[in-house]
């Protein structure tokens, strides 16, 4: 008998989300970022058991923010509205300019 098989049946169900869902403030922050910076691209991050679907918005200089969108469809709608490219982060990874920006702004590492 395995160690984890000793848990009660009720505890073996579907994992619950540990984080909150997307809010209007999250979507507004993405839109504000897009309209206030040049060369923004979106990188879609899939939903996990810990967080809702998120988008990392990265500007031309590497500055970035991450916000929940709730669904990939919502992220796509914002991207279309503002003519912003939308990439799947799992497939493409993140651009080097984001890593360079992180190195030059150590105060933002925990974001």
User: Could you tell me the residue ranges of all domains in the chain?
Assistant: 29-106
Residues 10-37: tens digit of each pLDDT: 444 455 555 677 889 999 999 999 999 9
Strand partners, 53: 70
- Predicted confidence at residue 52, as pLDDT, reads 86
> Rounded distance, CA 26 to CA 57, Å?
12
Residues 67-99: tens digit of each pLDDT: 999 899 999 999 999 999 999 999 999 999 999
> Rounded distance, CA 41 to CA 53, Å?
16
CA distances from 88 to 9, 14, 27, 60, 92 (A): 36, 26, 18, 18, 6
Identify the band that residue 109 occupies on the pLDDT scale cut at 50, 70 and 90: low
């Amino acid at each position: 008998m395995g160690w984890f098989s000793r848990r009660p049946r009720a505890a073996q169900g579907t994992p619950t989300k540990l984080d909150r869902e997307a809010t209007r403030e999250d979507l507004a922050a993405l839109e504000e970022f897009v309209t206030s910076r040049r060369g923004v691209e979106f990188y879609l991050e899939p939903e996990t058991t810990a967080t809702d679907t998120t988008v990392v918005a990265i500007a031309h200089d590497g500055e970035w923010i991450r916000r929940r969108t709730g669904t990939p469809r919502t992220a796509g709608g914002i991207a279309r509205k503002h003519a912003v490219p939308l990439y799947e982060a799992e497939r493409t990874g993140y651009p080097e300019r984001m890593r360079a920006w992180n190195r030059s702004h150590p105060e933002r590492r925990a974001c």
